[in-house]
Amino acid sequence: MLQSWRKLYAKSENTQAYSLLSPALILVAVAMLVPMMLMLSFSFFTQVSMMEIDFSFTFQRYIDFFQKNLLVTLLIKSVKISFLVTLITLITAYPVCYYIAFYVKKNKMLWLVLLTLPFWTSYLLRVFSWKIILGTKGVINSSLINAGLLSEPLTFLMYSETAVVITLTHAWAAFALLPLYVSLEKIDFSLIEAGRDLGLSRFEVFWKITFPLSLPGVIGAILIIFIPTVGDYVTPALLGGTDGRMLSNMIQAYFGKANNIPLGAASATIMLTTVAIITIIVSNVTKRLTQRLS
C-alpha cells in the first residue's frame, strides 16, 4: 500500500517537473536541435550554383575540408588560440579569486560585482576598445611615439594572433573569475590551517590542499571558456587580420560571399565535433586527476 503510494507520488513529481520543463525543452528542440540536424544534413549536399543545391548524399564536403590546407590550418589555429586564451585567463584570474576568497573580509559581494560588471557590457564594444589600444595609431603606439621611445608604430600589436589572444583573454575573464571564486570560497579554511600546522610550506599547502580542492572551478572555467572561444568570430574579424584569422571567419564567408552552404555546414559540424572531443578528453582527464588527488 505504502509502496504504491510512493510510486504514484514519484510519478507525479516526474510529471509535474516535466510539465514545467516542457516549454524550455521544446524551445531547445525546435530552435537548436532540429536546426542543427538540418545543418548536419546540409553538410552532405553539394552547392551547384548561386541558388542551387544538389541534395544527393555525399561525403565530399568533408573530404574538401581536409584537402583544403587553409581550413585545416584555421581549425588548428582556432583550437590553439582558444587553448592559449583559456590557459592565460585561468593563470591570471586565479590569484584574484584567491585574494577575494581568503583575504577580503568586508563587502566581498561588491568586489565580485565589480569583477563581473565589464562582462555584461557589449562584447562588440569591449573588442572594439582593444582596437583603440592596439591600433597602429592607437593608444600604445601613439603614447610610445610621443614619449620618444619609438619612431615607427609597432605593427605586430594589431591584426595578429597576439592581438586576438589578448582581446579574448580580456573578454572572457568573467567566465574564469566566477567558477574559480565559487570553488575557492567553498574551501574550509581549517584544512589550510591544519596543513600549515603540520609543517607544510606555503607552496606545499597550495599544491596539496588548496589547488586540488579548487579543481571543480578550474574545470568549469576551462570548459566554459574553451568551448565558445573556438568559434569566436568578432575578435578575429576586427583584430585578427590574416595572421589571427579563425575558422569562424571562413564559415561566415561560406554563408556569405563564398556561397558554399554545404561546405560551411561541414566546417561548422567539424568545429562542433572537435570541441566535443576535446571536452570529453578534458573532463575525463580531470576526473581521473581529481580522484588521484583526493
Residue with Cβ nearer other proteins (198 or 292): 198
Residue with Cβ nearer other proteins (42 or 292): 42
Give the nearest distance from C-beta 174 to other proteins in angstroms: 9
Give the nearest distance from C-beta 152 to other proteins in angstroms: 14
Residue in the block written with cell 544538389: 54
Residue with Cβ nearer other proteins (112 or 209): 112
**81 neighbors 89 (Cβ within 8 angstroms):** no
Closest CA to 286 of 228, 212, 193, 200: 212
Give the nearest distance from C-beta 161 to other proteins in angstroms: 19
Give the nearest distance from C-beta 3 to other proteins in angstroms: 18
Residue with Cβ nearer other proteins (68 or 98): 98
Instruction: Write the CA distances from 279 to 225, 241, 284, integer angstroms.
Output: 11, 28, 9
Give the nearest distance from C-beta 94 to other proteins in angstroms: 10
Give the nearest distance from C-beta 173 to other proteins in angstroms: 6
**63 neighbors 44 (Cβ within 8 angstroms):** no
Beta bridge partners of 54: 46
Closest CA to 205 of 192, 214, 217, 215: 192
For 242-281, strand residue ranges (E) read: none
Closest CA to 221 of 255, 187, 182, 249: 182
Residue with Cβ nearer other proteins (130 or 161): 130
Closest CA to 166 of 134, 198, 143, 138: 134
Residue with Cβ nearer other proteins (161 or 247): 247
How far apart are alpha carbons 85 and 225 in whole angstroms? 8
How far apart are alpha carbons 116 and 135 in whole angstroms? 26
Residue 233 three-state SS: coil
**36 neighbors 28 (Cβ within 8 angstroms):** no
Residue with Cβ nearer other proteins (74 or 292): 74
Give the nearest distance from C-beta 261 to other proteins in angstroms: 7
DSSP state of 54: E
Q: What's the N-to-C CA distance of the chain in angstroms?
A: 44
Give the nearest distance from C-beta 179 to other proteins in angstroms: 5
Residue with Cβ nearer other proteins (133 or 258): 133
How far apart are alpha carbons 75 and 59 in whole angstroms? 19
